[in-house]
Chain A
Amino acid sequence: MEWRRSYGRAPKMIHLESNFVQFKEELLPKDGNKALLTFPFLHIYWTECCDTEVYKATVKDDLTKWQNVLKAHSSVDWLIVVVENDAKKKNKTNILPRASIVDKIRNDFCNKQSDRCVVLSDPLKDSSRTQESWNAFLTKLRTSLLMSFTKNLGKFEDDMRTLREKRTEPGWSFCDYFMVQEELAFVFEMLQQFEDALVQYDELDALFSQYVVNFGAGDGATWLTFFCQPVKSWNGLILRKPIDMEKRELIQRQEATLLDLRSYLFSRQCTLLLFLQRPWEVAQRALALLHSCVQELKLLEVSVPPGALDCWVFLSCLEVLQRIEGCCDRAQVDANIAHTVGLWGYATEKLKSLGYLCGLVSEKGPNSEDLNRIVDLLAGLGAERPETANTAQSPYKKLKEALSSVEAFEKHYLDLSHAAIEMHTSIGRLRSAKFVGKDLAEFYMRKKSPQKAEVYLQGALKNYLAEGWALPITHTRKQLAECQKHLGQTENYLQTSSLLASDHHLTEDERKHFCQEILRFADRQTDSPGQRIILPLHCFAQLRDLHFTPSTAVVHVGGVLSVEITLCSQMPIPVHVEQVAISVHFSIEKNNYRKTAEWLTKHKASNGVINFPAESPPCPTPQSQLPAPELYEVFERSPSDNSLNTTGIICKNVHMLLRRQESSPALETSSGVALDDGAHVLKCSGVTLEPGANRLTFRTQAREPGTYTLRQLCASLGPVCFVVPHLYPPVQYDVYSQEPQLRVEPLADSLLAGIPQKVKFTVTTGHYTVKNGDSLQLSNAEAMLILCDAENRAVIYSNAREKASDVLLRVQSSDKVTSISLPAAPAYHVIEFELEVLSLPSAPVTGGESGVLGMTESQRKHKDSRSAGHCMATAEHKVSIDCPWSIYSTVIALTFSVPFRTTHSLLSAGTRKYVQVCVQNLSELDFELSEGSLVGPDSSADLQLVPLNTESPQRIYSKQSVFFVWELKWTREPPPSLRCHFSVGFSPASGGQLSIPLKPYTYEFQVENFFTLYNVRAEILPPSGMEHCRTGSLCSLEVTITRLSDLLEVDKDEALTESDEYFSTKLMYEVVDNSSNWAVCGKSSGVISMPVAARATHRVHMEVMPLFAGYLPLPDVRLFKYLPHHSAHSSQLDADSWIESDGLSVDKHVDDQPDGGRSRAGAHPAPGGEHRGLPMPRLQALPPGQVVNASVGAQVLVVPSRDDHVLEVSVT
């Protein structure tokens, strides 16, 4: 039947059931009757009357009466059914036409509503007519019924709303209203509109809740006080019956308690929800209901016997669960644990609290008071409902059983707990599972079975630790500690205790208690040695930092090393620790153990303080254990055009970060800690660790050289050892052994010869102890003196460069050996002292001879100086030193530099000769020169050296030169060569008094061919008729070469030709103008034959042209010896020099003497014949002493030419 409803509600197909009841006037609803289910919706009058007489006599009256009754009850829904029977018709002859009765009735009663009269013809016959009339009747019946129903329902709803609006009126009763609205719900349920029915109940529910809340807020409705009566019955929800009539009656009678009302309401909701196939909502609602009931009872201040609510909740939970299980299959239940698990948990919780309340959890079992309480509670349950009486597992039975005995309680509680844990775990609510597990552990602890409790506590603790919940950790640990104490797990107990004692979330007293526990244990066990209990240190104290003294952590054998650690005690009270030990691992590193102190010092950058990270922070955050992600930018460019293809960041340590988190490391286990009994242990005994930071110092004497790595830190407290199994970062110190060493080094950059110089002696004693009487034996080098000063002091330093003492040094010198007695010094110290040494110039520095060889000598020096800058000549002295610690002598080479360089030169002025000596100071020091003297080889009277120098001392500054000049005078014919000896006294200009007289500086050299043979004079004459030379015009150059002496020893060479007592030599002249002032016209050189006789003169004329105006120096005129080819005088010359000596013009190089090789070529010109097959003459420059250029320095005035009008103007 389709049902259209008012208020635009969607049409629905409904099934309307109806009862046919015989009409009685009493059944008609009176005004105010709210029963809707029994409401007469439609009144039907059946008549079989066929003839008018009967109709008029009885039926009409009857009908009128019926109609009046209906009207009186304002019921407009009626129907008259006229049953026609053909059989009857036939029996009666005086029948009216068939329609007449119906028409009559229609006329009489159905004014305007003709359809309210229906004809049903021959109902018992099977004919089409009958069928038709039945159909018409039923349709009519349905429509009328529905119409009436709709009308009445609408009216009912309106009435209900009106009633609800009256709820603020004083006399309003919720129960009455409840019954009314429930009627509506019933109707909907009957119509199978469960949704709508549920809405009715929900509305009631909400209304009631609102009143309770308002009551809590002080707005109490009078009717509510009724619900505030004490709870006397707590028999739980009844969900197995669709309608709990018992409760309903209570409500109807307004005798229901809050629990009754709630129970009934929920049972109805539950039924409807189950009809709607929503069992999971039942579970959810149930939980909410139970919570809110408890809340409401509290809010309404209803007095409830202790435990009663727990019973009620427990029963209800189980009832709901069983009800749900009853209507679903196993798989569905399993799939929807998430919805029911709350109820399980709640039931468990309630049973637990019941157990505690009734003393069922304690070891001894319930006492009399508890038993009384149990009896009371059981009484409140009432009798078991008949519908569950047959089921073995009914909630009622369960509760009764659980409360009846300790064992039964345990069984039920465990069942429930395990079920709850299992469910939580299965849906991944691990934390909740752990929480239930913790409760269970508590229970086990009460039952004195700690071994069962431990598992749960450990599990929970692990979970809390992993997620860093400090307070739960503390609490769980506390429980665990107790558990372990009972179990006698000494080690674990002590560890937990230490953790607890260091836990800041506990009160001071609790911490002290746990600390005392440890101490007590430590005291108790002292007499029975044997097993030691090893615990990690971090729960007891934290190693903060470690500090070495010396800070380099490097110590020599026998040296004292101290290690200072900062240990932060976590204990609340001072703890006396018998011993703190650091075990040390010793290793000899093959390559490294001979590291010297210096090396190690250099390479160990740390300042000796090593900080340790907090090993186990009191509240570990899991994040901190993860390494920070290392992110890098990535650019990928296409290889063809280098354009950016891809960019992004990559994480280089993904493997570290994305690694599966292992179920958190077992922090509580100490099994991995093994005490390392190394041979090397640093100890510190009898320490009292105050709470907070403590500094402990370990001292050790280094024995074997090598590397010592600190491995473990162990604080022992009787048999209890707190151990840091591995010190990280690794800490090590090194012990080294060093051989004694002697080092001698100059104090300044370089030692200067000739003056006292300081040399530093450093004795590194190493492992050798210098005794009194030990001395260094220096075998003297010949030319080096060791100056023994009375004031020599030796300073002894310790290894760390701290000055230890300052001792006077005794130096004894014999002519062969100098003995230095060392002051007594312990091992690994440094003795430092300084001695003055003086290098004597062993052999006078020889200067070169003049002439050919002299030149080469100077050139060699030149070459040296050029290759190595202005370096000083050096002298090396080797000293061998015998050290007391060694049978071998140490040979030490000291290099002294000569501070001066001396050169000499011969100066000529006509026939007068001068010797010039140049002393160049190469050192950084200033010197004072005095008493310069030059001595000839044999101080004969015929050769005199007349000094032209000052007598007073002269200062020679660093890098400067001083010149000395002597005139050479002779009376007889001078020797071809002259050996000279130059000496000059010198002393440092800044130096004070010198202890010893210094040796003068000497220089020997040889002057050769100093006698002048030729005089060359050049003269330029202006062209004839002119007063001055002019530029561009030729002038004549006249060169006059004059022989000054007769045949001398030096002339005897190859160039000399003899003919008839008449000697002549061949000379070559050359006019060169290096400054390009002159243009030599014509031949600029030529060979002349010079007679070897005094005043022999040769004149040469040539034309030169001045190129510039002004005073111009004359061109140079050079003179060479012209040696004829001599095959015997061949020399080994390379092609290079040969080519250079090829031709005459080349020979000017000889004068320039740019290079030793070339000059040699000039000096010994190659006989070209050997190479060319053509004999070539050789040239030899005359030594500078033999030629005097008389016109050197002369100048000629050149005036500009007249017609030189050209003015060059360059414009840019």
Chain B
Amino acid sequence: QNYPLYIRSVPIENELKFHYMVHTSLDVVDEKISAMAKALVDQRELYLGLLYPTEDYKVYGYVTNSKVKFVMVVDSSNTALRDNEIRMFRKLHNSYTDVMCNPFYNPGDRIQSR
């Protein structure tokens, strides 16, 4: 299941491009996940690392144990975010867990953010 649960892009103007980008990046995510499954490591590293670089952006991936995928696209010239992706993903993962804990959330629905 590779339908989007939540997509948000800042700034908004090039949203379409990012959607395409995230979507294509799922290819690599899938690839990495299957490679990991083959490796049969007990303690799986959730962070997938750089999925693929593009000219202007870096795409990072993260997948939970329940195969919920997080993909982050970062402007590659943005050095402030450099090497902090893991922390970002952890935060994201926590937020996602919070959402899942919400009894009013129906798993599989699009996630709304305020």
How far, in angstroms, from A468 to B4 measured CA to CA in the complex? 7
- A291 & B54 in contact (Cβ 8 Å cutoff): yes
| Neighbouring A residues of B77 by C-beta, 8 Å | 216, 295, 298-299
- A428-B30, A430-B27 known; A472 and B3 CB under 8 Å? no
Which of B13-21, B38-46, B60-68 lies at the interface? B13-21
A213 within 8 A of B: yes
B1 contacts A623, C-beta separation under 8 Å: yes
Q: Does B95 contact A (CB under 8 A)?
A: no
Is A291 a contact of B53 with CB atoms below 8 Å? Answer: yes
A621 interface residue (CB < 8 Å to B): yes
Q: Is B93 an interface residue when CB atoms closer than 8 A count as contact?
A: no
* Alpha-carbon distance A458/B83, docked complex (angstroms): 39
A779 to B77, CA, bound (A): 107
Of B15, B23, B56, which contacts A431 at CB under 8 A?
A: B23
Q: Are B55 and A294 in contact (CB under 8 A)?
A: yes
Of the candidates A217, A338, A624, the one whose C-beta lies within 8 Å of that of B79 is: A217
- CA of A622 to CA of B23 in the docked complex: distance in angstroms? 16
Contact check: which of B3, B16, B27 meets A622 at CB < 8 Å? B3
Binary A-proximity of B92-114 (CB < 8 A = 1, otherwise 0)? 00000000000000001110000
Any A CB within 8 A of the CB of B52: yes
Could you tell me the distance in whole angstroms from the C-beta of A220 to the nearest C-beta in chain B? 15
Q: Which residues of B contact A291 (CB under 8 A)?
A: 53-55, 76
Q: Complex Cα distance A623/B26, Å? A: 18
Closest A residue by C-beta to B54: A291
Q: Tell me, rounded to whole Å, the shortest Cβ–Cβ distance linking B102 to chain A.
A: 18
Residues on A with beta carbons closer than 8 Å to the beta carbon of B24: 429, 431-432, 435
Residue numbers in B under 8 Å from A467 (CB-CB): 1-3, 23, 26
Assess the B108–A623 pair: CB atoms within 8 A.
yes
Are B28 and A472 closer than 8 Å at their CB atoms? no
- Whether B16 pairs with A429 at a CB distance below 8 angstroms is no
Task: Specify which chain B residues have a CB less than 8 angstroms from the CB of A464 in the assembled complex.
Answer: 23
A165 to B97, CA, bound (A): 48
Contact A428 B27 (CB under 8 A): yes
Task: Name which residue of chain A comes closest to B30, CB basis.
Answer: A428
Contacts of B54 in A (CB 8 A): 291
Mask, A159-173, CB within 8 Å of B = 1, is 000000000000000
Task: Summarize A's interface: helix, strand, loop or mixed.
Answer: helix
Per-position contact with B for A281-301: 1 when CB-CB < 8 Å, else 0? 000000110010011001100
Contact A471 B79 (CB under 8 A): no
Could you tell me if A429 and B3 are in contact, using CB atoms closer than 8 angstroms? no
Number of A residues with CB within 8 Å of any CB on chain B = 33
A475 within 8 A of B: yes
Q: Is the CB of A621 within 8 A of B16?
A: no
On whether the beta carbons of A622 and B15 are closer than 8 Å, the reply is: no
Interface residues of A in 466-497 (CB under 8 A from B): 467-472, 475
Q: Are A435 and B108 touching (Cβ within 8 A)?
A: no
B96 CB, min distance to chain A CBs, angstroms: 16
Given the interface contacts A619-B110, A622-B1, does A431 sit within 8 Å of B27 by beta carbon?
yes
Given A471-B16, A472-B23, also A338-B31 (CB < 8 A): yes
Interface residues of B in 59-95 (CB under 8 A from A): 76-77, 79
Question: How far, in Å, is A431 (CB) from chain B's closest CB?
Answer: 5
Of A288, A432, A475, which contacts B53 at CB under 8 A?
A: A288
CA distance in complex: A619, B3 (Å): 9
Q: How far is the CA of A431 from the CA of B79 in the complex (A)?
A: 29
Nearest CB of B to A110, in Å: 59
Query: Whole-angstrom distance from the CB of B57 to the nearest CB of chain A?
Result: 9
Instruction: Tell me whether A342 is interfacial, beta carbon within 8 Å.
Output: yes
| Chain B residue nearest in CB terms to A216 | B77
In the complex, A295→B77 CA distance in Å? 7
Q: Which residues of chain A have C-beta atoms less than 8 A from B110's C-beta?
A: 619, 621
Q: In the complex, which residues of chain A have a beta carbon less than 8 angstroms from the beta carbon of B31?
A: 338, 427-429
A437 → B minimal CB distance (Å):
11
Q: Which of B19, B56, B76, B109 contacts A472 (CB 8 A)?
A: B19
- 1/0 per residue, CB under 8 A from B, across A423-461: the answer is 010011111100100000000000000000000000000
Bound state CA distance, A303 and B25, in angstroms?
Answer: 31
CA distance A576 to B52 in the complex (A): 50
The chain A residue sitting closest to B7, CB to CB, is A471
Which residues in A have their C-beta under 8 angstroms from that of B23?
431, 435, 464, 467, 469, 472
Q: Using Cβ atoms and an 8 Å threshold, which residues of chain B touch A217?
A: 79
Chain A residues, CB < 8 A from B28: 429
- The answer to whether B3 touches A621, judged by C-beta atoms less than 8 angstroms apart, is yes
Q: How far is the CA of A427 from the CA of B35 in the complex (A)?
A: 13
The minimal Cβ–Cβ distance linking B111 to chain A, given in whole angstroms, is: 12
Option from B7, B20, B30, B109 in Cβ contact (under 8 Å) with A435: B20
CB distance from A335 to the nearest CB of B (A): 15
In the complex, the answer to whether B26 meets A624 with C-beta atoms within 8 Å is no
A852 to B38, CA, bound (A): 109
Complex Cα distance A509/B20, Å? 23
Assess whether B19 is in contact with A342, with CB atoms less than 8 Å apart.
Answer: no
- B27: nearest residue on chain A (CB-CB)? A429
Give Cα A470 to B23, complex, Å: 11
B55 touches A431 (CB 8 A): no
Decide yes or no: A342 and B52 within 8 Å by CB, A430-B27, A469-B4 being known contacts. Answer: yes
CB distance from A1149 to the nearest CB of B (A): 82
List of B residues within 8 angstroms of A622 by Cβ: 1, 3
Query: Closest Cβ of chain A: how far from B55's Cβ, in Å?
Result: 5
Which of A217, A299, A338, A469 has the largest count of B CB atoms less than 10 A from its CB? A469
Q: How far is the CA of A431 from the CA of B22 in the complex (A)?
A: 10
Q: Give A428 to B28 CA distance when docked, in angstroms.
A: 9
State the CA gap A600–B33 with chains docked (Å).
58
A619 nearest in chain B by CB position? B110
Task: Identify the interface centre among A428, A431, A467: most chain B CB within 10 Å of its CB.
Answer: A431
The docked-state distance in angstroms from the alpha carbon of A1137 to that of B20 is 107
How many angstroms between the C-alpha atoms of A467 and B5 in the bound complex? 11
Residues of chain B within 8 A of A428, CB atoms compared? 27, 30-31
Which A residues from 643 to 687 make CB contacts under 8 A with B? none
From B82, which residue of chain A is reached at the shortest CB distance?
Answer: A213
Interface centre among A294, A338, A471 (most CB of B within 10 A): A471
Contacts of B76 in A (CB 8 A): 291, 295
The residues of B that contact A429 with a CB separation of less than 8 Å are 24, 27-28, 31
A472 touches B20 (CB 8 A): yes
Chain B residues whose CB sits within 8 angstroms of the CB of A471 once the complex forms = 7, 15-16, 19
Q: Are B79 and A432 in contact (CB under 8 A)?
A: no
The docked-state distance in angstroms from the alpha carbon of A294 to that of B20 is 21
CA distance A624 to B108 in the complex (A): 8
Chain A proximity of B68: nearest CB distance (Å): 13
CB distance from A657 to the nearest CB of B (A): 13
Residue of B nearest to A476 (CB): B20
Query: A432-B24, A471-B15 in contact; A295/B55 too (CB < 8 A)?
Result: yes
Q: How far is the CB of B108 from chain A (nearest CB, A)?
A: 4
18 new A-B contacts at CB < 8 Å, known A428-B31, A429-B31, A623-B3: A216-B79, A217-B79, A291-B76, A295-B77, A424-B27, A427-B31, A428-B30, A429-B28, A431-B23, A431-B26, A435-B24, A468-B3, A469-B3, A472-B23, A621-B109, A621-B110, A622-B1, A623-B1
* Top 3 A-B residue pairs of the complex, sorted by shortest distance between their CB atoms: A468-B3, A429-B27, A471-B19
A-B contact pairs, 11 of them (CB 8 A): A217-B79, A291-B53, A298-B77, A299-B77, A429-B24, A431-B23, A431-B24, A431-B26, A467-B26, A621-B109, A623-B108
